[in-house]
Chains A and B, each alone.
Chain A
Amino acid sequence: MKRPSTFLYSVLSFGFAFLYIPIFVVMTYSFNDSRLATVWGGFSTRWYSALLDNDQILDAALLSLQVALISATVATVLGTLAGLALNRMGKFRGRTVFTGMIAAPLVMPEVITGLSLLLLFVSLQELTGWPASRGANTITIAHITFSMAYVAVIVQSRLAGMDNSLEEAAMDLGGRPFAVTRDITLPLIAPAMASGWLLAFTLSLDDLVIASFTSGAGASTLPMVIFSKVKLGVTPEVNALATLVIALVAIGVAVAGWLMFRQQRLDSPAAK
């Protein structure tokens, strides 16, 4: 068996250093008492208190969470249906267009998605009066649209890797399609749906460009507020915010990793 050479290991270590050093630097600076990045003014949590006192950031965080929760949930429903349509429903008219519409949002530049959705909302408003104003509602619709494609891809690859003998057996025994999907297919693809939801949630929380296009005057998501702050330069409060986000993600990944580990242990004896 071939083993990685010293050269490969050096590049790997360099790569990880490259990926992680900036994150650790930001985390360290978030505890710096001094406003200037140059000077280490001693350990302090003052930027965290400042963050908690900043209503603009808190409001934006709440709006972002609300949009992310709703859009991830709807995207999981629609994306799961799309995954089922692609992998369990056989041929149907317009399948090629459908496949294209699922794959395209994954690689579409955000500026184009954002611009096109905004122009749609403006035209719809002219034609039908809806949406009366742009804000959380339009951002949510935009986020559902691009994240359902991610969910569909994840669910579809899970379905593709799973043989459908259980479902066919249930159908042969007289199960109705809806009941079979609900009782057999959905429990089997639940882990894929969960990862899809998490990905959709993260993508929504993270999105700046599409939200900037589709939002109206009043509503600012967290990335929009962060962007307007850091555009002017390094901001200690943003360092604190970044540290909190990274801590939350680390906890989330640890929990997800533990769940997956447990699931694997539950799965493996059954598989053998």
Chain B
Amino acid sequence: MTTLANPGKRDRLWRSCVIALPYIWLLLFFLAPFAIVLKISFADPVVAQPPFTPFFDWAAGSGSRILATLDNYAFLLEDNLYWVSYLKSIKIALVATLLCLLLGFPMAYAIALAPLPWRNLLLLLVILPFWTSFLLRVYAWMVMLGKQGLINNLLLSTGLIDEPLQMLYTDGAVYLGIVYTYVPFMILPLYATLEKLDPDIHEAAADLGAKPLRVFYDVTLPLAMPGIIAGSLLVFIPALGEYVIPALLGGLDSLMIGRTLYDEFFVNRDWPLASAVAIVLLLILILPIMLFQRLQQKADT
């Protein structure tokens, strides 16, 4: 019998096209670029002649650094800037993920427990901001937090403060921006797991004498764990490489690695070093990304 998966000889062509077209596209434009980044991060003297003319023109002044294979990585180790950037990114992404969880869990739980007709509307309200521009939503916090922004205005007019607070261009603003833009990614997977919980389980636990908090810690929380992990990864992974939020809301010392990479590339024009920064960032992310893929595959089957 012929099926879509196992067609007769004449129909192989269609099957091949379905698989090959997206496959070739992704090989060329997704996988190959990584190989090139890796190669340029090691930029060795053989490549010192063209084909990489543009990059060597810019790096001409510091040619010696590019000639040695591991020098980009050695430089990353030596220069504190990169250490500080990586560590600070991890710290900011971790704390922001935790804050997203603290805000997102009760929200997702409230939606999951809300009367059925309300759930879709509440979910829509969570997703809606995601469809408006990310950049403009980050910008909205510049309007809120600035020296002449709404919050300072309100505080000044009530007499609580005498002079405007410095809120914009601080780490606090970066945390706020990440929680603001990424909390929907936490709420959606949490809602998906919490919604499936059988309410009878809680009643059973309560009937057996467990106090509400105990029920939450011993029953709800463990059962919600897949959603907590999925949501945390969905926030942590993109937050770690975030560029726009630290660039607009952060101060000069809000060094996140995405911003360092961007500046290394566009301001310092050091492509091999930027490539090395990218490779190390990828190495840091490979574990959470693989964990996330494992979870996705589990959810699919």
Chain A residues near B (Cβ < 8 Å): 1-4, 7-9, 11-12, 15-16, 18-23, 25-26, 29, 36-38, 78-79, 81-82, 84-85, 88-92, 94, 97-105, 107-112, 115-117, 119-120, 122-123, 126-127, 141-142, 144-145, 148, 152, 156-157, 160, 164, 167-168, 171-172, 176-178, 180-181, 185, 202, 205-206, 208-209, 212-213, 223, 226-227, 230-231, 233-234, 238-239, 241-242, 245-246, 249-250, 252-253, 257
Q: Is B23 located at the chain interface by the 8 A CB criterion?
A: yes
A to B contact number (C-beta, < 8 Å):
281
**Alpha-carbon separation in the docked complex, A257 to B127 (Å):** 13
Shortest Cβ distance from B52 into A: residue: A126
Are the CB atoms of B140 and A25 closer together than 8 Å?
Answer: yes
**Alpha-carbon separation in the docked complex, A125 to B85 (Å):** 33
Set A103, A111, A178: member contacting B278, Cβ < 8 A:
A111
Q: Is B158 located at the chain interface by the 8 A CB criterion?
A: no
Chain B positions 163-196 with a Cβ under 8 Å from a chain A Cβ: 180, 183
Q: Is B25 located at the chain interface by the 8 A CB criterion?
A: yes
Are the CB atoms of A107 and B292 closer together than 8 Å?
Answer: yes
Shortest Cβ distance from A112 into B: residue: B278
Of B65-73, B76-84, B145-153, B221-229, the one touching chain A: B145-153
Q: Is B63 located at the chain interface by the 8 A CB criterion?
A: no
Which residues on the A side are within 8 Å of B34 (C-beta)?
116
Are the CB atoms of A102 and B114 closer together than 8 Å?
Answer: no
Shortest Cβ distance from B233 into A: residue: A107
Give 13 CB contacts A-B under 8 Å.
Answer: A2-B203, A18-B103, A22-B141, A23-B132, A25-B143, A84-B18, A89-B4, A104-B30, A108-B289, A109-B240, A157-B300, A185-B4, A245-B133
Which residues on the B side are within 8 Å of A2 (C-beta)?
113, 199, 202-203
Minimum Cβ distance to chain A for residue B198 (Å): 11
Minimum Cβ distance to chain B for residue A164 (Å): 7
Main secondary structure of the interface of B (DSSP, over half): helix
Which residues on the B side are within 8 Å of A81 (C-beta)?
17-19, 21-22
Set B31, B281, B292: member contacting A101, Cβ < 8 A:
B31
Are the CB atoms of B238 and A116 closer together than 8 Å?
Answer: no
**Alpha-carbon separation in the docked complex, A25 to B32 (Å):** 44
Q: Is B87 located at the chain interface by the 8 A CB criterion?
A: no
Shortest Cβ distance from B285 into A: residue: A109
Minimum Cβ distance to chain B for residue A8 (Å): 4
Shortest Cβ distance from A202 into B: residue: B131
Q: A2-B113, A123-B36 in contact; A176/B51 too (CB < 8 A)?
A: no
Which residues on the B side are within 8 Å of A145 (C-beta)?
25-26, 29-30
Which residues on the B side are within 8 Å of A241 (C-beta)?
136
Minimum Cβ distance to chain B for residue A92 (Å): 6
Set B5, B29, B106: member contacting A7, Cβ < 8 A:
B106
**Alpha-carbon separation in the docked complex, A234 to B35 (Å):** 40
Are the CB atoms of A8 and B140 closer together than 8 Å?
Answer: no
Which residues on the A side are within 8 Å of B22 (C-beta)?
78-79, 81-82, 85, 98, 148, 152
**Alpha-carbon separation in the docked complex, A89 to B14 (Å):** 10
Which residues on the A side are within 8 Å of B265 (C-beta)?
115, 213
Are the CB atoms of B110 and A8 closer together than 8 Å?
Answer: yes
Which residues on the B side are within 8 Å of A250 (C-beta)?
128
Q: A111-B262, A152-B22 in contact; A15/B140 too (CB < 8 A)?
A: no
The 8 A CB mask of B1-45 against A (1 = contact, 0 = none) is 111111100110011011101110111011111101100100000
Are the CB atoms of A38 and B18 closer together than 8 Å?
Answer: no
Are the CB atoms of B25 and A181 closer together than 8 Å?
Answer: no
Set B6, B31, B109: member contacting A4, Cβ < 8 A:
B109
Q: Contacts A19-B180, A231-B247 known; list 4 others, CB within 8 Å.
A: A11-B107, A78-B21, A127-B51, A246-B132
Minimum Cβ distance to chain B for residue A261 (Å): 10
Are the CB atoms of A111 and B261 closer together than 8 Å?
Answer: yes
**Alpha-carbon separation in the docked complex, A239 to B274 (Å):** 34
Q: Is B293 located at the chain interface by the 8 A CB criterion?
A: yes
**Alpha-carbon separation in the docked complex, A208 to B138 (Å):** 12
Which residues on the A side are within 8 Å of B148 (C-beta)?
36-38, 234
Which residues on the A side are within 8 Å of B113 (C-beta)?
2-4, 8
Closest 5 pairs between A and B when the two form their complex, measured CB to CB: A109-B241, A90-B5, A116-B33, A22-B140, A126-B51
Which residues on the B side are within 8 Å of A209 (C-beta)?
243-244, 262
Minimum Cβ distance to chain B for residue A232 (Å): 10
Minimum Cβ distance to chain B for residue A182 (Å): 10
Q: Is B75 located at the chain interface by the 8 A CB criterion?
A: no
Are the CB atoms of A181 and B14 closer together than 8 Å?
Answer: yes
Are the CB atoms of A20 and B203 closer together than 8 Å?
Answer: no
**Alpha-carbon separation in the docked complex, A201 to B131 (Å):** 10
Minimum Cβ distance to chain A for residue B184 (Å): 8
Which residues on the B side are within 8 Å of A100 (C-beta)?
293
**Alpha-carbon separation in the docked complex, A117 to B7 (Å):** 36
Are the CB atoms of B25 and A1 closer together than 8 Å?
Answer: no
Q: Which of B21, B139, B199, B247 has the most CB of A within 10 A?
A: B139
Which residues on the A side are within 8 Å of B59 (C-beta)?
none
Set B134, B142, B285: member contacting A206, Cβ < 8 A:
B134
**Alpha-carbon separation in the docked complex, A223 to B189 (Å):** 29
Q: A16-B125, A245-B132 in contact; A102/B26 too (CB < 8 A)?
A: yes
**Alpha-carbon separation in the docked complex, A168 to B258 (Å):** 49
Are the CB atoms of A12 and B107 closer together than 8 Å?
Answer: yes
